[in-house]
Amino acid sequence: MTTAPGLDRAGLDRLHDRLAGHVERGAVPGLVALVARGADVHTEVLGSAALGDRAPPRRDAIFRIASLTKPIAAAGAMALVDDGVLFLGDPVETYLPELSDRRVLRSLESALDDTVPAERSITVEDLLTFRLGFGAIMAPPGAYPVQVAEAELGLMTLGPPWPPPPFGSDEWIRRFATLPLLEQPGAAWRYNTGAHVLGVLLERASGQPLEAFLRARLFEPLGMADTSFSVPAEKQGRFTTAYRPDPATGALEVLDPPVGGWWSEPPAMANAAGMLVSTIDDLWAFVSMLLSGGRHEGEQLLSLASVADMTRDHLTAAQRASATLFLGDHGWGYGMAAPGPLRGEPPIPWGFGWNGGTGTAWSSDPARGLTGILLTTRAMTSPEPPPHFVDFWGAAYGAQGD
């Protein structure tokens, strides 16, 4: 691919070699990557869509993007804010009456009935900033009573979202409302559940199923034709196989097949926390819209103010400090990481974006004008970036031209 000024040819060759090394060693079966600086966009398509398949993946291969769903859902929420349908300070019980009169555990170790009243309502902004008072617990499953109860309810919000629950969003929020919060609303950052609840809120506020709403407000205007919560039969030939390492041996095993898997039919509940599929070009269209201040082909899909709110840090110093396992040196915007206060040189990567547990990553660095998107078929096993992520970002930043 020819490149214009902005990306360095030798640097892009190193990017190819580093990514190809992971594929050739069998660590990553297949990937599609994009690096962009200004109008200069470079892509890599390596490996295969499935182990044992000699055919390379197509550039329009469909990947499970996992938590890259979160910023897309956040953008949907901001579209409703721009419309005046939602307000960031609104209590969520306006649309989710199930979440009125919340109770809060006295401590994480407490029994579910050992609670105090919530000091205030959960707001729309609390969902976007993951400060609603509920989310990931950094302990083995079943370590605390609330984890046991969440698992029994089948909510799939304190860990991986698969297999997807067999019930719809109304039943999901009804079950979630039987649990107390872990902290007072606004007090702490906890991963994941804010996006889960946000998806239900978007359905209620828009009066549409979540996918229909996102399609009308984002996917169709941006040309994101392959972004969805399921993959129809006519597209399954482009759908990659998802793998995860065996905990004991490290050997790759199938997490989800392209046919007959969790995405083969529309889900009972469209999960805004992590269940979209997409392609490199669909995601680049979404990211480009944010980089253009909410504009796409002359149409203002999001206001400048909404994009600014999405991509800036909203956390306190204490909240950032408690979240370093997930966020590193970053803060949190709306549905994604955002640049936090810096002490010295910015790390690599730096900017706004996020990672997905199925092996996906995106970051846009406004200071350096660099964006990277990586879609792979190897699932992550912890919040710590795997070696191929580290190599991707090192090489992507090394490919900056003058």
2, pLDDT greater than 50: no
In the prediction, which pLDDT does 342 show?
Answer: 86
Structure tokens at 251: 């050997």
Q: What is the mean pLDDT of the chain?
A: 96
193, pLDDT greater than 80: yes
5, pLDDT greater than 80: no
- Angle (CA) 49-50-53 rounded to 5° is 95
Could you tell me the pTM of the whole model?
A: 0.97
pLDDT in tens, 334-385: 999 999 998 888 899 999 999 999 999 999 999 899 999 999 999 999 888 9
Q: What whole-number percentage of the chain has pLDDT above 90?
A: 94
Query: Residue 291: which of 243, 341, 363, 340 has the closest Cα?
Result: 363
pLDDT in tens, 22-60: 999 999 999 999 999 999 999 999 999 999 998 889 999
